[in-house]
Amino acid sequence: MVELKEKISEVFRDTNLVICWREGFDPIHATPHFVREESQIEDSIFNLFCVHNLCVYLPFLKEKAGILVKGCDSRTLIQFLQEGLIRREDVVIIGISCRGIIDVGKLMREVLYEAVTGVSIDGDSIKVKTVSREREFQLTSLLADKCKICRYPNPLIYDHLIGEPVESKVSWDMAYEDIREFEKKPLEDRLSFWTKEIGKCIRCYACRNACPLCICRDRCIAETRDPHFTSQSVELKEKFMFHFIHAVHLAGRCVECGECERACPVGIPVKMMKKKINLEMKELFDYETGINVDDKPPMYTFKAEEEKIKEHEL
């Protein structure tokens, strides 16, 4: 923690703004922390509850900033740079090698949303004290799903690095096994799965706004009256329409940070759609998002004859 604060201090002297984390309203919630005064550095933390992808704020900042990123978050920066959404000289990146974060939603469900008054982590176990009792969990059982299949625990781009490098043994195929398994199900099963899940949507747009790559924001076509792509009604087809728009607009852009799914208050597995599209992107264009700054996202360019798209051949 000393190292973290020292690094933030160092960067702060250069940027006058560092986006990091501090403790949230209870021991299992961290919250993004905008350090604009030296005295605020003291509150900064990094722990298993620092779940947010802080890059979400960058394309809208009009000032130079320091930012903390985990391995997965760092891919967002690369994607931003590829798309020209930020300038490299406007960010100072403090990368953190990460062993995984906790799925806070899952933890809250496990303790039936009881108010948490304390946590202690000891090796592989975590003790959670609520107002009525204390429970112990294995850390692995509470890890966010994305961390179990993480291929990039170490930041891919950074100016300063904190922590020892972490090794990942996860292969591409392992990371997309869930999608391939799901696709084996009959069409009817998949349709009823999505009908139930999307049916829960309340169109609060938390998934959209938590997504660092969803940069239309106030101009999102899910809300504009003209053109009238979706109505204000909460019918299933309107909800589907919104989620498909969201997913398709992220084709070859989504870095799978999972913020959409984490932000959803009703637990819709929206990341699955984006992973499916990324899988297609890999198979069609052999492209993986957020890996090399010099890559061109496939939807930003075209070839007259794509190697794997045959329909144009005469």
Partner 1 sequence: MERIGFLKKEKIEEYLQSLSKKGELYVPVDVGRAVKFEKYLTGSSICLDRPPTLPPKSVIYPQSERLFKFKFKKDEGNVDLIEIEEVEDTKKRIIFGARPCDSAGFSVIDNVFIQTDTPDVYYERRRMNSFIAAKACDKPSAGCFCIAVGGGPFDDSGSDALITELEEGYLIEAKTEKGSLFLDWELIEPGDDHLEKKLKKKEESERLLSEYLGELKKIEPLDPKTESFNDENFWKRHLSKCISCGLCTYLCPTCYCFNITDEKKIFEGERIRSWDSCMFFHFTLEASGHNPRPDKFKRFRNRVGHKFMFYPEKYSQLIACCGCGRCIRFCPVSVDIREVVFELQKPRRV
Cβ atoms < 10 Å from Cβ of 194: 17
Closest CA to 259 of 52, 43, 31: 52
Minimum distance, C-beta of residue 283 to partner 1, in the bound complex (Å): 30
- Based on the shown chain and the rule CB under 8 A, indicate whether residue 262 belongs to the binding site for partner 1: yes
Minimum distance, C-beta of residue 291 to partner 1, in the bound complex (Å): 26
Closest CA to 158 of 64, 57, 58, 88: 88
- Based on the shown chain and the rule CB under 8 A, indicate whether residue 208 belongs to the binding site for partner 1: yes
Cis bond leading into 298, ω under 30°?
A: no
**Which of 73/259 has CB closer to partner 1?**
259
* Of the residues 59, 105, 163, 297, which one makes contact with partner 1 according to CB under 8 A: 105
* Of the residues 57, 194, 229, 240, which one makes contact with partner 1 according to CB under 8 A: 57
88 vs 70: CA distance, rounded Å: 18
**Burial (Cβ within 10 Å: 0-12, 13-18, ≥19) of residue 193:** middle
- Based on the shown chain and the rule CB under 8 A, indicate whether residue 114 belongs to the binding site for partner 1: yes
Return the ∠ at Cα 46 (arms to 162 and 119), rounded to 5°. 140
- Residues 117-176 touching partner 1, rule: CB under 8 A, are 117, 130-132
Minimum distance, C-beta of residue 180 to partner 1, in the bound complex (Å): 22
* Of the residues 218, 226, 305, 307, which one makes contact with partner 1 according to CB under 8 A: 218
**Burial (Cβ within 10 Å: 0-12, 13-18, ≥19) of residue 108:** middle
Minimum distance, C-beta of residue 199 to partner 1, in the bound complex (Å): 8
Residues that bind partner 1 (CB under 8 A): 24-26, 28-34, 36, 52, 56-57, 105, 108-109, 112-117, 130-132, 196-197, 200, 202-206, 208-210, 217-218, 223-225, 231-235, 259, 262-263, 265-267
